[in-house]
Amino acid sequence: MYADEPDRQEPRGGGDERSRRRKVGEDEPARKVTLAIALAVTFVFVLVTAAGVGWFLSDDGPFPGGGTSAPDEGSPTGEGEGDNASDGDSPSPEGMVEDPRSGLTYQLPGEGWQRLGDDEVPPEYHSYAVYGAADDPDAIIVTGSEQLHAAEPMPVAGVRLAVESLGGLVTDIASLEVEPSGGTEVDGSPAFGVAVDGGGEDASYGRFLLVETGDRNGAFMLGINTAGGDEASAAIDEAFASVGVL
């Protein structure tokens, strides 16, 4: 008979060690899930915080413009800007008139002058500024454009267009003298000026300028003073001195 074999004994602490290893192995996925949830919550919190800061600094937030304070109640806020503006043809700040259809711009004279809206401009012009009452002005400044005749010299075209423009603005055009005042340039573009004189101390005064804007296109500006006195004539000269090409 075989001798009795000694009872096999578990190594001391062996069962507890395996139990601990199993528990550690079982707890590992749970810790990974917990860590993933924590990271997701942190990421969402960062996104929400960033969105909140973006709104806080946006135009809809309490401090638009990157946290700058709102303008004082007494400071200009732009209200009333463009009161004399017209669609696509509005005057710029500081009284500049910009006429994109003709390609000309000029400084609107000071007190007493106003620019009319597009719906008040005769169809042969693009912009219309008046001195005095809009329905019966003492002086006016208009801009427009015309296709120049082929091979037509600038002096001839200038006088022709000046007479045609005056015909729509002055009732007694025969009393006016329309004479060339010479060639010049406007922002590098060829131009030609025409003087308008009614004769006498209180007679009409006017100026006409034709600018060749390329491919036989002509942009023109006419200022005529019929009853505004020396002040209106000086204002017309001031406006013509500021003419530019857009």
Question: How do residues 77-97 score in pLDDT, each as one tens digit?
Answer: 434 343 443 444 444 445 899
Low-confidence ranges of the chain (pLDDT < 70): 1-94, 200-202
What's the pLDDT score for residue 111?
86
Strand 137-147 relative to strand 177-186, pairing: unpaired
As a whole number of angstroms, the distance between CA 204 and CA 33 comes to 92
In total, the chain counts a number of residues equal to 246
Q: Are 155 and 146 in contact (CB under 8 A)?
A: no
Whole-model pTM: value is 0.62
| CA distances from residue 111 to 95, 151, 231 in whole angstroms, order as listed | 11, 42, 10
Query: Got the DSSP string for 34-46?
Result: HHHHHHHHHHHHH
Give me the residues paired with residue 98 across strands. 105
As a whole number of angstroms, the distance between CA 116 and CA 94 comes to 16
Tally of CB atoms within 10 A around 218? 24
As a whole number of angstroms, the distance between CA 169 and CA 220 comes to 15
What's the pLDDT score for residue 218?
94
What's the pLDDT score for residue 115?
94
Q: What is the dihedral of CA 53, 57, 59, 61, to 10 degrees?
A: 60
Token digits of residue 67: 């946290």
DSSP type of residue 114 = E
- Residues of 58-75 as b/e, b for ≥16 C-beta within 10 angstroms? eeeeeeeeeeeeeeeeee
Radius of gyration of the chain (CA): 41
Token digits of residue 158: 């200038």
What's the pLDDT score for residue 169?
83
Where are the strands (E) in 73-229, listed by range? 96-99, 104-107, 113-115, 127-132, 137-147, 177-186, 189-197, 205-214, 217-225
What are the φ/ψ torsions at residue 159 (nearest 5 degrees)? -65, -40
